[in-house]
Structures are given as C-alpha cells and as structure tokens.
Structure 1
Amino acid sequence: MEYVFTATETGTPSGNEAEAKALLHMLDATEDGIELFAVDCFNDVTGMDNPCFVLHDAQSKAEKNISPAKLGRYLVTLLENHLSEFSQFFDSLTLFVGGVSKTVLQNPELVEFGFHDIEAKAQKKVQDSLIEECKKRKNGIDDNLLSEDNINDFLSKVHFVIFRENREDYIKPLVRTSAPIMPDSKKLKRIFTEIRDKQSALKNRAGIAGKRITHPDRVIDLGRVVKRRDIELLVIQRILNRDFLRDDTPKSFIHYLNQIPDEEDPDAITEDCRHAIYRQFFDKNNSEAFWTFLDEVVTTIDNSNQKDIEEIYDQLKVETRKACTHLERRSCLYFIATIKDGLYK
C-alpha cells in the first residue's frame, strides 16, 4: 500500500487566504481530534491526529458564485483520496468555497451543507462534471471505479462549507476570553495574516510531486506539517505580547525572585513555571480553567493596576486557582507577572 503525491499548486493571495481559513475552520473543530495539519500534500490542507491514522481532507476554492458544474470539478482531488489506497484513513472530506450560485442550494441561506441539500438538477450537473473531470485527468482512477454507486457514496460523505468573509472571525474562537482582553479587529487580522504566511511558507517549500509514502505518518518527514499547538501558542503569545517560554523573565516576577532563599535556583524556578503554564494551556480536559484564570487576573489588574503580583494572587477566587491543576503558587505568580508586564507595558 502506498500513496503517490501529485504536482503541487503555486500559491496565490486569494488561494493562500482560503487555505488558511480552511485550516482554522478545522482547528476550531476540536471534537475531531485534529493535532496536525499537512499543507499541500494530500490536498490543500489535511487535518490529522497525532499518529496520523485519522485524516480530515480539505480542498479550498476562494471563488464565489460557483456553479454546479464547477463544484463537480473542484471535488476531484477529494474523490481521488476517497478511492486511493489510503482511503481507509480519510475520515472526512470537505470542500471549502467562497460561495455558490443561486442554482445550487434548496435553501440559499445555508453556509454548511451536504449533497442532499443541493437542488436535484444541480446534483446531476455536479455528478456529471465530476465524472467528466476524472476521465480528463491522469489520476490513475480506473473508469470502473466511477460507477454511479461509488460516486453517490462519495458525494454523500462530502461536507461543503462556505467561507466566512472576515478574517477575524477565524481567530476569535481561539481566544476564549471576555471583552477586556479580546484583541481588536486589526490585531485579530494581523494574527490571521501571520498564520496564513506561516502556512504559505510550508506550501512554497521544495515540491514533493512523485514522492511515495507507505503510511500517512511519513508525511511528517516532508517538512510540510504544522502543529495545532504551534498555532494556539502563537495566538496566546500575540494576545499577551510575550512568549512565556522564551522571553526574559517578567520584571514583576524578578522582584519576587529577589526575595527567595539563596539556596534556591531562580533559573530552575522560572523554567518550572514556564512548563507548568504550558501544560495548563494545553490541558484539553480543563481548557476553560486557563482562560478563566486569565480573565480574572486581567479584571483584578484593571480594578487596581498598582497591586503587585502577590496581592493580585491573593484576590483571585479559590475556585479559579484550584481549577488550574497544573499551576502551584509560583507558576500562578509567574503567569500573573506575564500578563501584567505583557498587557500593560
């Protein structure tokens, strides 16, 4: 069993933006267990679990007012993967588009839909166009596989999504916090642009056409995979204006370190605090605790920004501190210092 990569596409500004929106849409779908994203490998974007046994395949088209015939043509790469030797790994198939023509949907208000939501006449055009496009391409799909049953089975599994217009709408779901520290529209757009550019940089690496792999996890070796954690970490770093894993120790915490016994190592304490915050941020089973803590710290500082980090800590609700099971007193103080120095510098 092997998968052969075909020629990759040259990126365009609109195409790069569409692919970034597809990635961020899937990233927000946490129930799918997506931890990795393969960029311009199996398709425009493919979400994967860590061992790469479950793949969520996505093709994206920025074009608006797409006709039924074009919808059919744009489904080809998804069908190729559905019928490939890796078919067992593809758990979901999604076509992201900028918009569809009035002749496509029974209910034109839908922004996410299945093939059954498409008008009967339009369905026929999608099917015919898909088969015609497959026969044109040198994709290795045997004509015998393009039976009515196979095509209908494939189309029943495809999920269609119309992009949201605003870039910031793709970042807001990643910032699970209240109004006081929600970045403004310009900052949210900048975060989106940074993620888009990182994704485009992977796409623009040396081509992989003709390369063969025997299992989806081999795609990691091709240097075109971005981790969910890296994207989520980038977002929180931009909100806090600090990289709490690499930046210098916050000034507010240095004052605390100056009071500890000489026998203790400040560098070790700082490192332990950073790793504790990292573990808390990425604790999927208790993700809200991190954001609740962040909100409460910001509110406390807003009420009196003259307080030092220990005074802020003492004012936090006991329930808030207890919920952050990875944070003990010192790591809480370090995080408070990070927020205080980052947000209000």
Structure 2
Amino acid sequence: MYTIKNTELTNKKSSDYETKSMLYLMGIHPDSENVEIVVVDCFNDVTGVDNNFTLMLDVQSKNYATFTPSLIGKSLYTLFDNYVSKFNFHGYVLFSQKFNSNYVHDSSLRSFSYSNIQKKTQEGIERKLREVIIKNHQCVDENKFIKFLNQVTFFNDDSPCSHYIKKLSGFKTKSTISDSTYENIFKEIRDKQSSLKNSEIENEILSTPKEVLKLDRYITKSQIKSLIISRIIGVSDIFKGNDIPIDFLAVIKEEGLINKRELLKDMIQECNSNLSRTLFDKGTSKKFWQLSEAVIKIVRVSQSNCVYEIYDELLLKIKKMPPHMDKISTQYLISLVLQGMDNDL
C-alpha cells in the first residue's frame, strides 16, 4: 500500500522547474525513450513511467538560488521515502540549479552521481537527511541510507525553458523555429501541468502504482508531442482532421475526390493516421521530426505555395521517407505547414 502525502500548490518559478523536470524525463534522461506517461505531484514532483509501470523514474525538483548542503539533504527526503516504500521505483533524480562549484569534483557535469560530490558537502547533506529521516521514521537503516545515495542522479539545470522543448522535438537546425515559439509552447505545457494540481488527493491510498492513473494527474508523451508539433506547424489539433487545409484542395481535385465526400473523409483520416503513426512509433519518431523540419525550412524560403512543387523539392532533400508517410500524407503535411505560415514559425 502507498499513501499519497505532501502534495502541494507551487508558485510560477517552482512550476517552471517541475515542467523542466517533466520534459527532462521525456527527452533527456537516459531512459526517456521508455517514458510514456509523467505522473504529476503524486509520488513526487514528477514521476516518469512506461505504459505498464514496469519503469518508474522519480524526480524531486528544487529551484533554490542558493542550494546549501543542508537544503540538498532535506530535498532528498521524498526520494528516500519512495526508496523505502512498498513500490518499486527504478531511478531517483534531484533536479536543481547548478551546485556551487566547490561542492563537486567536476563542475562541468550536468548529470552526475553522489560520488561527484565533495566529501565535506556530503557530510552536510547526510547530516540533514538523517535528521529528516529520524523525524519521520524514528531511525535510519544505514545500509539502505548509503545504497539510496549511490542510486541518486543529480541533474544540474542551467538551460532556458526553450532548450527542453527543442530536445523533445529533435529538430537539428534549432534556428528553424524561433525561441519565442518554443517558450510559448513551454508555458502552455506548464499551465496544463499546473492545472492538474487543482484536485485534492492528499492521503489517497494506492494498492498498486498503476492505480495512480485514476487520480487523473498525469500527462502522456503523446499529448506533449502532439501539442509541440501542432504549435510548431501553426495548426491546432493537428491529428483531429476537422478542417481541410486550403492548399490541399489542389490534391483533392487531382485525386478526383472533390465531390466524393465519404472517400474524401477516408483519405483525410488516413493522412492523419499516418502522421500520428509516424510521430508516435518509437522507430520512426525521429524521422517524423526530420521530415517536418525539412518541410518547414522549404516552405519558409520557397516563393511557391504549390503543394506539388514543394513536394518535389522535398524529395531532393529527403531520400527516404518514413514508412507510413506516402505521397498523399506528405502532401497533406505540406498543406498543414502552408496553412500555419500566417503564425510566427
């Protein structure tokens, strides 16, 4: 059994850091490829899991400008509490601003283990962590205490919010999209994440980790990727297919579907399905971002808004299309990008 406790509402700066740590789990952590869901403020600030909860990566995020050894030790407590809980977590991360360079052996590392921390700093961390553990558990199991510290990953953030969106999108040429667009996407994700905390879940009891989903405090990687590509392309709800892009009408006419409503609906649905399959399939996701980036770059510099001309130019740049992206689906993507060009890409 697991009792949820210490849930909290956070201020904007803390929310920014929790969102950074969520995106870190989805796009930067060594196991990020397997993270499909991020649970918000239930087990900890954020916890990344796969669909079956056979992977659980626990993160405590702290935005202290001055992060003393005592505060580091205190901040490690919720991670330790989960370490000794009945649930099986597979990774523990303290996500924070950069440590004082005097605290670590190698200050160039952004991600490091406990062994990178200087002995004197370790003493301060352990003193405070023991104090908090004794307060809550009455005693310290020294064996578990040391094993826990050696399993913690310390991640020191020194990047802007836009960096985490860029890492998740995987665009190679970062200048393809303006930083302001990435920052606006980050804010939208942050607000969505913060809104999940409005429900009251304190003292909820869970028999299995997966039961946490019933509390509806989670965000899926699919939701985040959908939002990112929709905002980058400039089209809301990209996979819903409620509207036909104006520039796609030429393709519809060429295919002889202008007056064939049911066949047209089927084709649009198939295009959206192909886009979705390519983006969310682990084997083709990177190719989707590469394809999207190439389309955006061509549309931005092209003097033409002809889908066929842009498609022909695209074929010169992309030698091998992702498996699900046939000619029609790719032309549909081009039409979506053309439609979104009125927004600031």
Deviations 1:194-241 (A, max 9, x none): 1111110112x2221111111111111101010011111111111100
Residue aligning to 1:231:
224
Which of the numbers 214, 236, 241 marks the counterpart of 2:234? Answer: 241
What is the rounded CA distance, in whole Å, between the counterparts of 2:81 and 2:58 in structure 1? 11
Residue aligning to 2:264:
266
Amino acid in the other structure paired with 1:167: C
Residue aligning to 2:117:
118
Amino acid in the other structure paired with 1:40: D
Shift in Å, 1:74 = 0.7
Aligned 1:139-178 pairs, distance under 5 A: 141=137, 143=139, 146-178=140-172
Unaligned runs of 5+ in 2: none
Shift in Å, 1:104 = 1.9
Name whichever of 303-312 and 63-72 sits farther off. 303-312
Aligned 1:1-345 pairs, distance under 5 A: 2-29=1-28, 31-32=30-31, 33-86=34-87, 88=88, 90-137=89-136, 141=137, 143=139, 146-179=140-173, 182-203=176-197, 205-242=198-235, 243-246=237-240, 247-259=242-254, 260-261=256-257, 262=259, 265-302=263-300, 304-317=302-315, 320=318, 322-343=320-341
**Number of equivalent positions:** 336
CA contact (8 A) 2:59 2:94 kept: yes
What is the rounded CA distance, in whole Å, between the counterparts of 2:122 and 2:227 in structure 1? 41
Shift in Å, 1:120 = 1.0
CA contact (8 A) 2:294 2:317 kept: no
CA contact (8 A) 1:180 1:298 kept: no
Unaligned runs of 5+ in 1: none
Shift in Å, 1:177 = 2.6
Q: 1:108 to 1:297 in 2, by over 3 A?
A: closer
Amino acid in the other structure paired with 1:241: G
Q: Secondary structure at the residue paired with 2:318?
A: helix
TM-score normalised according to structure 2 size: 0.90
Residue identity over aligned pairs, in percent, reads 29
Amino acid in the other structure paired with 1:211: E
TM-score normalised according to structure 1 size: 0.90
Name whichever of 227-236 and 288-297 sits farther off. 288-297
Q: 1:189 to 1:180 in 2, by over 3 A?
A: closer
Q: Secondary structure at the residue paired with 1:159?
A: strand
Shift in Å, 1:176 = 2.4
Name whichever of 23-32 and 155-164 sits farther off. 23-32
Q: Secondary structure at the residue paired with 1:37?
A: strand
Deviations 1:25-78 (A, max 9, x none): 111136511000000000000000011121000001100221112111110000
What is the rounded CA distance, in whole Å, between the counterparts of 1:36 and 1:214 in structure 2? 19
Q: Secondary structure at the residue paired with 1:97?
A: strand
Q: 1:172 to 1:303 in 2, by over 3 A?
A: closer
CA contact (8 A) 1:245 1:274 kept: yes
CA contact (8 A) 1:181 1:298 kept: no
What is the rounded CA distance, in whole Å, between the counterparts of 2:6 and 2:293 in structure 1? 47
Shift in Å, 1:175 = 2.8
Q: Secondary structure at the residue paired with 2:52?
A: coil
